[in-house]
Chain A
Amino acid sequence: MGITGIGLKARHTAELLAHRPSLRFLEVHAENYMGAGGPAHRWLTVLREAYPLSIHGVGLSLGGAEPLDADHLADLAALVNRYQPELVSEHLAWCRIDGTYLNDLLPIPYTDASLSLVADHIDQTQTALRRHILVENPSSYMAFPESDWDEAAFLAELARRTGCGILLDVNNIHVSAHNIGLDAKAYLAALPTGAVGEIHVAGHEPVTHDGRAVLLDTHGAPVTAAVWDLYRQALTRFGPVPTLVERDANIPPLAELLSEVATADGIAEVLPGKDAAHAHAA
C-alpha cells in the first residue's frame, strides 16, 4: 500500500469496482454528494467498503466576509457523518457573497482581520463536524496590496489558532510562485512539519492573459516535472502524508492516473531518511 489516492470520477467507477487497484484513498467533492439520493450515492456506498474516503469541500467559503451558510455546513456535517471519511478538507478561499455563489475558489488578502475571520469560520466548521479539518492553500493569480502576511505564515497561524491541519497543494504553490512571485522553498520551510495532513499534486497549463504569461491551475493535464520536484521536497520535510493525484478535467483512462499514483508512491519510497527510519523500527 502506497500513500497515494485519486479523485473518484464516474467514468472510472466500474473499473475500480472490478479491479480494486491498490489506492491509499478515494477523494470526492462534498457538494457532488449533496443530492438526497441517486446513483452517485449508490456507487460511493459500495466503494466506501473498498477504500478509505477523503471528503473535499469546495463550497464552504471559509474566506467569505459574510457568515458561513448554516444550511450548507449542516449538509456537510450530515455527509461526513454518513460516510465517516478518513480526511475532510476545505479551502483557504471564498466563493459566496450576499448569498450568491461564484463557482470558483477566490483568494483573500492576508490581513489580521481576515485571519480572525477565517479562524472563526474554521472553528465553527470543526465544531459542526466534531473533528479537525484540513485547509488547502489556493492557487493565486491576483496579489492584494493590503496583504501584510505571507500565505504560508497565514496558514501556519490558522493551524496554530484552530488546530486545523493543512492540505498542501504543491501544484498551487508552483502556480502561485509563478503568477504572484511566491518563493516555493521558503513556503515549505514556513509551515510547521506536523500540520500537513494531505498533499495534492495536479497539472496546470500556461496561458497568456492581458499580455501576461500565467500558469492556470486546470487539473486538466499530467503533473509536471517541476511539481514532482516540489512534491519530493514537501515529502522530505513533512513525511509520507496521504497524497492525491488530482485530475478534474480531460479525465484520462484510469491506467494513466494509476501511473501517476505509482510516480508519487515511488518518490515516497526513496525519501531521504526512510531507510534509516526503517532500520530504527527494525
Chain B
Amino acid sequence: MPTLLERQRDMRDWVLATTGTPPLPNAGLHRDNTLGGLAAVLAAGFPVTQRLVGEACFTGLAQAYVRHEPPREAPLLRYGTGFPAWLTGQEVARQLPYLADVARLEAAWTHAYHATEAAPLDASVLATLGDAVEDAVWRLHPSHRFVTSPWPVDRIWQANQPEAGDATVDLDTDGDTHLLVVRPAAEVLLIRLGPGAFALLMALGAGLPLGSAWDNALALDAGFNLEHELTGLLAAQVFTGVELP
C-alpha cells in the first residue's frame, strides 16, 4: 500500500494534470473541485478580464494558469498575482493587446483592497513645516500601486463595471495611461495621473524629498503645477505622513 505521502503526491499530480488515470474511483470530483474552485477565485479577482474574453474562455485560461502556478499559500486573497504576466504569453492577449494591462489593474485593485490600513496625513502638519516641506519625505499610503499602460485601461475597467451599461471606449484616445490605485479608507480609488504627477508620486514613493520629486515632475511636464496637484492628492488622502529626513 502507498504511504500517506505517496497518496498525497499522486493525488496532487493527478488533480493538476490534464490526463491520466484517477488514483481512486471518484478522484475526478476532487480534480473538478480544485480546478473549478480556483478558477472561480480568479474570476472573482479578475471580473473585467473575464468579461472581456467571455466566461468559457476565461475558465479555460484560469484552469491552465492554476496548473501552471497553483497556490503556494492557504489564503487565496492574493492568488493570481502572477496571472497578468502569464496572460501576456497567451494567444488571447495578442488578439486583445490591452487584456494583460487590464488584468494588472485588477491585481493592483485586489492588492489595495486587502492592504494594511493607515491613517491619512493630517494636512495641518504641513503648515508647521513652512519652507522645510520641500525637504520632507512624503509617505504614500501603503495600499498604493502604480499601473501604466499604452491603453486606456481605466476607461476599459469603468466601462465593464456591472453598473456601467453599454459604455464604449475609444482605444485610440486617452491612451498612455498612468494610474494610482490606492485605498485610503473603505473604497479603492483609481486616480488617473498626468505625466508630471506620475513622476512626482513615483519619486515620492521611492523616498525622494518633495523638492527632488518636483524637479522630476517638471522635467516631464514643464507646465506642472505642484500646488494644484498636491491639493487634489491631499483631498484624496493618498499620503499618510510627512517626515523631515
Whether the pair A36, B74 counts as a contact (CB closer than 8 A) is no
Whether the pair B1, A72 counts as a contact (CB closer than 8 A) is no
Contact stretch, chosen from A89-97, A151-159, A253-261: A89-97
Whether the pair A212, B7 counts as a contact (CB closer than 8 A) is no
Given known pairs A36-B115, A103-B37, A114-B4, the reply for A142 and B186 (CB within 8 Å) is: no
Whether the pair B26, A210 counts as a contact (CB closer than 8 A) is yes
Interface residues of B in 1-42 (CB under 8 A from A): 1-5, 7-9, 11-12, 15-16, 24-30, 33-34, 37-38, 41
The residue in chain B whose Cβ has the minimal distance to the Cβ of A73 is B74
Nearest Cβ on chain A to B202's Cβ, whole angstroms: 23
Whether the pair B12, A100 counts as a contact (CB closer than 8 A) is yes
Contact stretch, chosen from A18-26, A62-70, A125-133: A62-70
Q: For B73, what are the chain A residues with a Cβ–Cβ distance below 8 Å?
A: 69, 71-72, 101
The residue in chain A whose Cβ has the minimal distance to the Cβ of B71 is A101
CA distance A179 to B3 in the complex (A): 24
The interface centre, meaning the residue of A65, A113, A117 with most chain B CB atoms within 10 A of its CB, is A65
Q: For A31, what are the chain B residues with a Cβ–Cβ distance below 8 Å?
A: 74-77
Q: Does A109 contact B (CB under 8 A)?
A: yes
Nearest Cβ on chain A to B224's Cβ, whole angstroms: 32
Whether the pair A212, B5 counts as a contact (CB closer than 8 A) is no
Q: Beta-carbon contacts of B156-198 to A below 8 Å, as 1s and 0s?
A: 0000000000000000000000000001001000000000000
The interface centre, meaning the residue of B3, B8, B9 with most chain A CB atoms within 10 A of its CB, is B8
Q: Does A173 contact B (CB under 8 A)?
A: no
Whether the pair B25, A212 counts as a contact (CB closer than 8 A) is yes
Q: For A64, what are the chain B residues with a Cβ–Cβ distance below 8 Å?
A: 8
Q: Does B94 contact A (CB under 8 A)?
A: no
Q: For A179, what are the chain B residues with a Cβ–Cβ distance below 8 Å?
A: 26
The residue in chain A whose Cβ has the minimal distance to the Cβ of B72 is A99
Whether the pair B4, A214 counts as a contact (CB closer than 8 A) is no
Q: Does A189 contact B (CB under 8 A)?
A: no
Q: Does A146 contact B (CB under 8 A)?
A: yes
Q: For A109, what are the chain B residues with a Cβ–Cβ distance below 8 Å?
A: 4, 7
- Residue of B5, B38, B71, B114 touching A66 (CB-CB under 8 A): B5
CA distance A66 to B3 in the complex (A): 12
Q: Does B90 contact A (CB under 8 A)?
A: no
Whether the pair B71, A69 counts as a contact (CB closer than 8 A) is no
The residue in chain A whose Cβ has the minimal distance to the Cβ of B78 is A35
Whether the pair B24, A104 counts as a contact (CB closer than 8 A) is no
Q: For A113, what are the chain B residues with a Cβ–Cβ distance below 8 Å?
A: 3-4
Contact count band on B: 35 or more
Interface residues of B in 102-128 (CB under 8 A from A): 113-117
Contact count band on A: 35 or more
Nearest Cβ on chain B to A46's Cβ, whole angstroms: 12
Whether the pair B115, A104 counts as a contact (CB closer than 8 A) is no
Q: For A114, what are the chain B residues with a Cβ–Cβ distance below 8 Å?
A: 4
CA distance A102 to B157 in the complex (A): 30
Given known pairs A65-B4, A146-B1, the reply for A35 and B70 (CB within 8 Å) is: no
Whether the pair B70, A102 counts as a contact (CB closer than 8 A) is yes
Q: Does A37 contact B (CB under 8 A)?
A: yes
The residue in chain A whose Cβ has the minimal distance to the Cβ of B38 is A103
Q: For A194, what are the chain B residues with a Cβ–Cβ distance below 8 Å?
A: none
Whether the pair B74, A95 counts as a contact (CB closer than 8 A) is yes
Nearest Cβ on chain B to A106's Cβ, whole angstroms: 6
Given known pairs A38-B183, A104-B37, the reply for A96 and B30 (CB within 8 Å) is: no
- Residue of A42, A61, A102, A145 touching B15 (CB-CB under 8 A): A102
Given known pairs A37-B115, A42-B186, the reply for A32 and B75 (CB within 8 Å) is: yes
- Residue of B16, B24, B29 touching A209 (CB-CB under 8 A): B29
Nearest Cβ on chain A to B80's Cβ, whole angstroms: 12
- Residue of B3, B27, B70, B115 touching A101 (CB-CB under 8 A): B70
B residues with CB within 8 A of A: 1-5, 7-9, 11-12, 15-16, 24-30, 33-34, 37-38, 41, 70-78, 113-117, 143, 183, 186
A residues with CB within 8 A of B: 31-32, 34-42, 58-61, 64-66, 69, 71-72, 75, 94-104, 106, 108-109, 111, 113-114, 117, 141-146, 179, 209-210, 212, 214, 216
Known: A39-B113, A142-B30. 14 other contacts (CB 8 A): A31-B75, A31-B76, A32-B77, A34-B75, A64-B8, A65-B3, A65-B4, A100-B16, A103-B76, A104-B15, A106-B30, A117-B4, A141-B29, A179-B26
Can you give 18 contacting A-B residue pairs, CB < 8 Å?
Answer: A31-B76, A34-B74, A36-B117, A38-B114, A38-B117, A72-B73, A94-B8, A97-B8, A101-B71, A102-B70, A103-B33, A104-B30, A108-B7, A113-B3, A117-B4, A142-B24, A210-B28, A212-B26
